[in-house]
Amino acid sequence: MFAGAAAPPRFVERTPLAIDVRTMSVTVVIGSQWGDEGKGKLVDLLSGDIDIVARYQGGANAGHTIRWGDKEFVLHLLPSGIFRPGVVCVVGNGVVIDPVALLDEIRTVREMGYDVEGRLMISHKAHLIMPYHKAIERAREHARDAGAIGTTGRGIGPAYVDKFARTGVRVVDLLDRDVLRKKLTASIAEKNAILGRVYDADELNVERIIEEYVEFDKVIDPYVTDTSNYLNRALKMGRDVLAEGAQGSLLDVDFGTYPFVTSSHPTAGGACTGLGIPPTSIRRVIGVVKAYCTRVGNGPFPTELTCDVGERLRRVGAEFGATTGRPRRCGWLDLVALRYTSMINGFTDLAITKLDVLSGVDPIRICTQYSHGGKTNMRFPTETKTLAAVEPVYTTMPGWPEDVCGVREIDMLPDAARNMVQLVASFVGVDVCMISTGPRRSETVMARIAA
């Protein structure tokens, strides 16, 4: 099937934006921290003004929460435009697909009354997560013991290992039963040897897995297409594309806090390789910045707060993993890290989220330098040992007592809140294009605060 020729229907309701995403080109939305910045809310909001939303990396490790009216849904694999009728949603080649998670999500979205027929496209080149990927990840994390990464257990790392080792199974392989059987038999024999001999873990049954994946093929077949071709043709036809990143820049396998990272490229370059679109098609790169920082899993986190303030951020911000339910570690906003991720991604705009959570926190601290070995600087070290050793140097600002939840006008924000946003824009040298003051679509200030 190739749906590229048909113009995707446009959603009629438009949101007044302080950023023009109708550029007939690509806008990339990227987490600027360690994930969970509120990308889902933002992509859903911007989707009201866009033709196509495309996920470019990661898998069901992502948890993107969308809230509208009295409804809330956490998406793991489907792009966050799926609740906007008429918006085409693409799962790109860079995503690793867990069939069980995908089918479950498609079913639930349909049951909620949202049609996916003709507007969901899945890349034939995307790799599949196999039961052995999850089994190996479990065994590896267990063996790492205290040095564990604290992964989401969704098989992401081992699936990307197979992709780059050129032993992965792709969506297109489902079309040919003989190829699928041959690939899986070889792969499972190798994985069973590793599971049994190295990790003393249970082995997997080849026939059962083949059966399961053949069933999966029957359901996803209508959605499978050459998505790179589709996107490039759509761009030529003047469509707007929103590329939705999962995770965050500091979890990037190259530019994050390695080895405490995910196994893909959430950063801007990942949008090109994960969708098969040229860098020249990208017009805007929006960095999503939570007004404080959170991190799930292990690894260095210079501004982490283990005191009452951290507890308060977790409680008020409901900082519990959308995928695993784990409590998120909380800390102050880190502008040294943000300047670094802005440099890597080339952010053209920043979207500040969860500003409302800081109401009543007084004073507010913002990290503007790191101190290490008796010297202070603004360099973000990605070498784990150094990052774990730096001491954050804070700029202290007065907080505000007013509840700003749901505020939609910039003038309705207290001066202290506006000053904080201004500091972020000026420090990073990038305009803020919107401020989120609550989880719902409407709870957003659409204003441009110039750097």
DSSP string, 94-151: TBEE-HHHHHHHHHHHHHTT---TTTEEEETTPEEP-HHHHHHHHHHHHHHGGG----
Indicate which residue of 49, 64, 98, 334 is catalytic: 64
Return the number of other C-beta atoms located less than 10 Å from residue 405's C-beta.
15
Binding residues for ligand GDP restricted to 55-114, rule: CB under 6 A: 63-65, 67
Handedness of CA 59, 63, 64, 66 (dihedral sign): positive
Using the rule CB under 6 A, give the single segment among 105-113, 114-122, 351-359, 413-421 that binds ligand GDP.
351-359
Q: Which does 438 bind (CB under 5 to 8 A by kind): ligand GDP, ligand IMO, Mg ion, none?
A: ligand GDP
Whole-angstrom Cα distance, residue 103 to residue 109?
A: 10
- Coil vs helix vs strand at 6: coil
252 belongs to the binding site for ligand GDP (CB under 6 A): no
Residue 415 annotated as catalytic: no
Find where tokens 């719902």 sit: 440
Least distance from ligand GDP to the Cβ atom of residue 124, Å:
27
Using the rule CB under 6 A, give the single segment among 4-12, 122-130, 349-357, 424-432 that binds ligand GDP.
349-357
The set of residues, in sequence order, having a beta carbon less than 8 Å from that of 373 and lying 6+ positions away, is none
Q: Is 103 exposed, middle or buried (0-12, 13-18, 19+ CB in 10 A)?
A: middle
Residue 64 annotated as catalytic: yes
96 belongs to the binding site for ligand IMO (CB under 6 A): no
329 belongs to the binding site for ligand GDP (CB under 6 A): no
Binding residues for ligand IMO restricted to 53-92, rule: CB under 6 A: 61-64
Using the rule CB under 6 A, give the single segment among 31-39, 120-128, 225-233, 234-242 that binds ligand GDP.
31-39
**CA–CA distances in Å: residue 230 to residues 102, 117, 125, 237:** 21, 16, 13, 10
Using the rule CB under 6 A, give the single segment among 42-50, 154-162, 302-310, 340-348 that binds ligand IMO.
154-162
User: For the chain, how far is it from start to end, CA to CA, in angstroms?
Assistant: 46
Whole-angstrom Cα distance, residue 303 to residue 371?
A: 12
Least distance from ligand GDP to the Cβ atom of residue 65, Å:
3
Whole-angstrom Cα distance, residue 129 to residue 275?
A: 18
**CA–CA distances in Å: residue 403 to residues 16, 18, 356, 359:** 24, 23, 7, 6
Q: What are phi and psi of 111, to 5 degrees?
A: -60, -25
Q: Identify which of residues 34 and 56 has a Cβ nearer to ligand IMO in the complex.
A: 34
Counted residue by residue, the chain has a size of: 451
Q: Please state the separation of Cα 198 from the chain's center in Å.
A: 33
Q: Which of 8, 63, 299, 300 binds Mg ion (CB under 5 A)?
A: 63
Using the rule CB under 6 A, give the single segment among 32-40, 200-208, 399-407, 415-423 that binds ligand IMO.
32-40
314 belongs to the binding site for ligand GDP (CB under 6 A): no
Q: Identify which of residues 95 and 174 has a Cβ nearer to ligand IMO in the complex.
A: 95
Least distance from ligand GDP to the Cβ atom of residue 178, Å:
39
150 belongs to the binding site for ligand IMO (CB under 6 A): yes
39 belongs to the binding site for ligand GDP (CB under 6 A): yes
Least distance from ligand GDP to the Cβ atom of residue 445, Å:
10
Of 43, 231, 272, which Cα lies nearest the Cα of 121?
231
Q: State the residues that interact with ligand IMO by CB under 6 A.
A: 31, 34-36, 61-64, 149-152, 154, 156-157, 246-248, 251, 262-263, 296-297, 322
Note the residues at the interface with Mg ion (CB under 5 A). 36, 63, 322
What residue ranges bind ligand GDP (CB under 6 A)?
Answer: 31, 35-41, 63-65, 67, 318, 322, 353-354, 356-357, 436-439
* Residues belonging to the active site: 36, 64
